[in-house]
Amino acid sequence: MNMNIYHYDKDTKEFTFSMMADKDPEETRLKGEFVPLIPAYATSIEPPELKENEAAVFDVENNKWVVEPDYRKNFKLVTAEFNIQNITKIGEIKDGFVVLKDIAELIKQNPQHFKIKNNEVVKKTELEIETETKEAERQVKIAEIKAKLEEIDISSQRSSRAISLCILNEETPNPEDIEKLMDYENKAGELREELQELENIQNESEGINE
C-alpha cells in the first residue's frame, strides 16, 4: 500500500514537501496491515488546496492543517512612516500596511504622494499633491525671507550704532552710515511685504478649510 506523508517546517509549521511513506516494520507486523513510518515534523494528513498568497500551517496541538495568509512573495510591508519592509512571516499583518510590490516601489520613490486613509495606503490625488507641493515651496520661501531679514538686522547694527553715537554726542552722522541704514531698511521693507503676502495665503487657506 502506498501512502504519502507531508512534511512541515520545524519552526513555522509551514508545509514544505510530500513523499511516499516508508513502512513501519514493527507496527505493520503487529497490526497485520501497512502502517506508515511518520518522522518528526510530518503528518499523514493531506494539506488543503491553497489559493495564491496562502500557506498551509500544521496545527500540532489540534492535529490539523490551517490555511494562513502568506504575503511574503508578492507584497511588502509599509509602516506608518512610509518605510518599506520585507514580509518574512506567515499570517495577518498586525503592525503596518500590506501593499503589492509595484506599489511599494512607488511609495519608496515618492512617499509624499501617498497617505493613510480608512486604514489603507492610498495614492493622493493630483490636486492634493499639487497643493502640498505649493505649500512646501511657500514654507521654504518664508524661511528664506526670515533668514534674509535676520541677516539685514545683524548687518545694519553697525551703521545704526554709529548714527546713534553721533546723535548722542551731538555730532553729524556719517552720510554713508545713513545711506547704508536706509538701504537696509528699504530691502527689509520689501521682504516684509513679500512675507506678509505669503502669510496671507496661509490665512486664506485656513479660512477656506474651516
Alpha carbon distance 22, 1 (integer Å): 10
CA angle at residue 47 from 62 to 22, to 5 degrees? 95
Q: Is 152 helix (H, G, I), strand (E, B) or coil?
A: helix
Give the pLDDT of residue 205: 59
Q: Using one digit for the tens of pLDDT, what is the confidence trace for 43-96?
A: 999 999 999 999 999 999 999 999 999 999 999 999 999 999 999 999 999 889
Buried b (16+ CB within 10 A) or exposed e, 93-131: eeebbbbeeebbeebeeeeebbeeeeeebeebeeeeeee
What's the Rg (C-alpha) of the chain? 36
Q: What is the mean pLDDT of residues 94-112?
A: 94
Q: Is the pLDDT of residue 209 over 60?
A: no
Alpha carbon distance 146, 151 (integer Å): 9
Q: Is the pLDDT of residue 116 over 50?
A: yes
Q: Using one digit for the tens of pLDDT, what is the confidence trace for 144-184?
A: 999 999 999 998 888 888 888 888 888 888 888 888 889 99
Q: Is 159 helix (H, G, I), strand (E, B) or coil?
A: helix
Phi, psi of 18, deg, nearest 5:
-120, 160
- Can you give the residue ranges of every domain in the chain? 4-69, 75-123, 126-209
What are residue 22's DSSP bridge partners? 37
Phi, psi of 22, deg, nearest 5:
-80, 160
Alpha carbon distance 128, 113 (integer Å): 9
Give me the sign of the Cα torsion angle 168, 172, 174, 177: positive
Give the pLDDT of residue 199: 86
Average pLDDT, the chain: 89
